[in-house]
Amino acid sequence: MPRPLHHALTYLRSTPGTHLWLLALFVTTVVMRHMDPAFTDEFLRQRSTNIHHLTQDPSRVLITSAFWIDGDNGLRGWLLYAVLYTLFHAPAERWLGTARWLLVVLTAHVGATYLSEGILAWAIRHGIAPPESVNTLDVGVSYALAGIVAVLAYRIPTPWRYLYLFGVLTFYALPLVTGRTFTDVGHFTAVLIGLACHPVTRSPKPRRPRTPRTPRTPPSAPSRTPAP
């Protein structure tokens, strides 16, 4: 096997979750590209983690919403996520391992979704947001990405870690101040969740090998001197 191909396969095997997810996003992006534009919005809305679906069928929409990219950029949008996944998801999965990486992904995706939609529900209840916002369109992978971007701070040595943290918090806090949409709340929440996942980043302490126990042998019986 040629060496470049061997290195590529080794790299893919080290981050299976990241690249299988990217492959699924590529397939769904191609499918959406061939849809009737008039049908696309309703199709995505049925997979949206909006208030209506979270109260009716939360498990289904929490899973399906993470396999569609919202927007009109098509394959260009997927290419952007391919770059972001390579820069953030792949290093995080290789560092944490697939199981712990997936735990951070799910925690950020689910936690940020529920908090942002909960704030939107509060805004509807108090007349700040219109009632039809219960059916708003909310799909995509950006909450999980924000959580992974944040948790990678623990991979960076100090003092560069603080510079990275400042950049991440500034990037996600500015839209929260200027836009104040429920998705801005979700992104910043996902960052905080990622930072709260610090215990997940700690490698388990290796177990000390047991010292083999020396088998106990019964004392030998004293030799008997034959009688004269």
Residue 207: predicted pLDDT: 47
Residue 137: predicted pLDDT: 86
Out of 47-51, 142-146, 177-181, the most confident range is 142-146
Whether residue 209 is predicted with pLDDT greater than 80 in this model: the reply is no
CB 142 within 8 A of CB 69: no
What's the average model confidence in pLDDT over 138-164? 95
Out of 165-169, 207-211, 217-221, the most confident range is 165-169
pLDDT in tens, 3-60: 666 566 776 778 999 999 999 999 999 998 888 877 888 888 889 999 999 999 999 9
Three-state SS letters, the chain: CCHHHHHHHHHHHHCHHHHHHHHHHHHHHHHHHCCCHHHHHHHHHCCCCCHHHHHHCHHHHHHHHHHCCCCCCCHHHHHHHHHHHHHHHHHHHHHHCHHHHHHHHHHHHHHHHHHHHHHHHHHHHCCCCCHHHHHCCCCCCHHHHHHHHHHHHHHCCCCHHHHHHHHHHHHHHHHHHHCCCHHHHHHHHHHHHHHHCHHHHCCCCCCCCCCCCCCCCCCCCCCCCCCC
Residue 3: predicted pLDDT: 65
Residue 45: predicted pLDDT: 87
What's the average model confidence in pLDDT over 136-160? 94
Residue 213: predicted pLDDT: 56
CB 135 within 8 A of CB 100: no
Share of the chain above pLDDT 90, in %: 62
All residues at 6 or more sequence positions from 187 whose CB lies less than 8 Å from its CB, including other chains: 112, 142, 143, 146, 172, 175, 176
CB 179 within 8 A of CB 144: no
Residue 10: predicted pLDDT: 74
Which pTM was predicted?
A: 0.84
pLDDT in tens, 79-131: 999 999 999 999 999 999 999 999 999 999 999 999 999 999 999 999 888 99
CB 62 within 8 A of CB 49: yes
Long-range contacts (CB closer than 8 Å, 24 or more residues apart) made by 84-88: 84/145, 85/18, 85/19, 85/21, 85/22, 85/145, 88/145, 88/148, 88/149, 88/152
CB 116 within 8 A of CB 189: yes
Residue 71: predicted pLDDT: 64
Task: State the residue for tokens 């770059």.
Answer: 83
As given in the structure block, the two tokens for residue 57 are 């069928």
CB 16 within 8 A of CB 94: no
Q: What is the spatial distance between Cα 117 and Cα 93, in angstroms, rounded to a whole number?
A: 28
Whether residue 185 is predicted with pLDDT greater than 90 in this model: the reply is yes
Residue 33: predicted pLDDT: 85
Residue bearing the bigger pLDDT, 1 or 48: 48
